[in-house]
Structure 1
Amino acid sequence: MIETFEMKPNFTYLGKKYDLDPRTIKKYYQGYNGKATTRAKPSMLDEYKDIIKEKLSYKGSKVSSLYFFLKNEKEYGGSYSTLTYYIRKHPDMKSNTKNESHVRFETKPGEQLQFDWVENIKMINKYGVEFEFNIFSTELSYSRMHHFNYSKYKTREDVLNNLVGTFKFYGGVTETVLTDNMSSIVNTNDKKFCKEFKSFAKDMGIKEKKCKVRHPYTKGKVEVRNKFMKWLIPYNYEFETEADIVEIIKKINIEVNNRINNTTGMKPILLYEKEKEYLTPLPNNQILEQYMNLSIQVKVQNTMLINYKGNQYSVPKKYINKTLKVKEFDNKLYIYDNTELIISHDIVANKKINYKEQHYIEGLQSSLKDKNINEIEELAKKNLELLDNLTTNRKKENNDK
């Protein structure tokens, strides 16, 4: 009314009438809206805002995978709940994935091992190079103790090799193993395990069981854990080599086994201390080695190198883009073209790139046709020395970090 009739307000009169301080009435009359209910306080996540938005935009990315990445690679010291609250406050940040439910069932200690492939994973390094690989994923059903293993291929030999490595990791074997209709070990026609896998199961002293494909009520635990492989997504454009991927997977494996499980209420690593007492001892080394030494398929790169367990080994130039087989025995790597032995390399743990001098010279000859053999041999010797120093120094820098 005062504003409508352009009257001059009597704040003293209004104060007495409404039992308020005249100065308070005057303040509100002049436009005061009261104290702010919230403060514009900066968040510790503001510095990561662009990273969060970018990583959540990747298909399949989850907040849990982003939290793991920020904590391990960007030194984020806040909590998971702080991150989720920050994302809720910013509508432009949204995880590009859908939640799925999986039903669990329980087993006795040492009773069952579930295994599966996380297939056809693609990652891009910081130079734009795409890497495609698989992860052999296993879990002890009682403790939820998990083991992830990088694998280039998914052949029958890869399955048997990975299972032996898994049993060695756990320190024993379970009563049964459970998987789905894995094409490499299950016959297409009758949907039964192939004779090679049955023979393997007999040698290991286990019973093989098969469930329906993607039915969580029978194989739910390992499929739930496979979701943790989405933690790889934020590492796109952050790594350099295949060896870096292997190390990232190891980090994730440690984290998964040290997270409290929602069903058991305990960390898998702690329950595993109880379950390992119920595991059957491993077969003798002679049986294990016959499966560990199965050949593995590898593809030769344009650099005349093949990848094996994070290291690279050279072959002659004529095998570029061909698929070869490798076997490891007595700390040596043997490379075959079908049944023909091409070359062998000594396996040196801290040597990432292993060129035979004659292979390197052959590669230089095809690109430096204006130089004579003496010049090429001298250049090869210098370059190989520089390459050895580079990989050695990089390893030292990583250790210092």
Structure 2
Amino acid sequence: MDEARTEHSPGRVNAKFAQFAKDFGFEVKPCIAGRPRTKGKVETTMKILDEIHAYQGQLTLEELHQFVQDLSHRVNHEVHQGTGKIPAIEFKKERNHLLQLPAEKVRDSYRIKHTLVKVNASNMISYKSNQYSVPAQYQGKKVGLQVYDNQLWIYYNTELIAQHPISNKKLNYQEAHYQEALGVSMPNYPDIDDLAKRNLATIREVYK
């Protein structure tokens, strides 16, 4: 929700999610914010996401995939709190009445691609010929790159390590990343923060 539903306002559903609902043929029914008797039913199912989030950064993508598969199998074969029914059994009864999924082209437009890229010696990754910084500890490692909402999301295994707005600049540093890299290469420099600021100002001037 871009604006929450209240007792006196219907709120405003996020436009991108509203389009997703339209493309996949379901209706969005917002709950009134802060009302336990309706909101609680929705929040109960969020416990599944909490289980997944608990392993943030602790599983590889392959391990996370297996974890989600096992979690899905467990949840779909136990009694649902809200309906008192077992989802896997109900699905078999109702599957012939479900709507067809939209065309593959529509489904593909919502998929987020995950690409592996290597961090170079300058602690940067490349995207469309431009470079973006990551923390120094990932130098030489392969990291995952996802692109959506005009942002780059950079992961190591399943841990988010950096986020950058997509830019047309050749070099895109986060100040903390640059300071960290300087600290590693020049550990005895008296004022790394000041040097980093001056160097970044020069880089921005050259590559603006």
TM, length-normalised to structure 1? 0.26
Query: Whose Rg is larger?
Result: 1
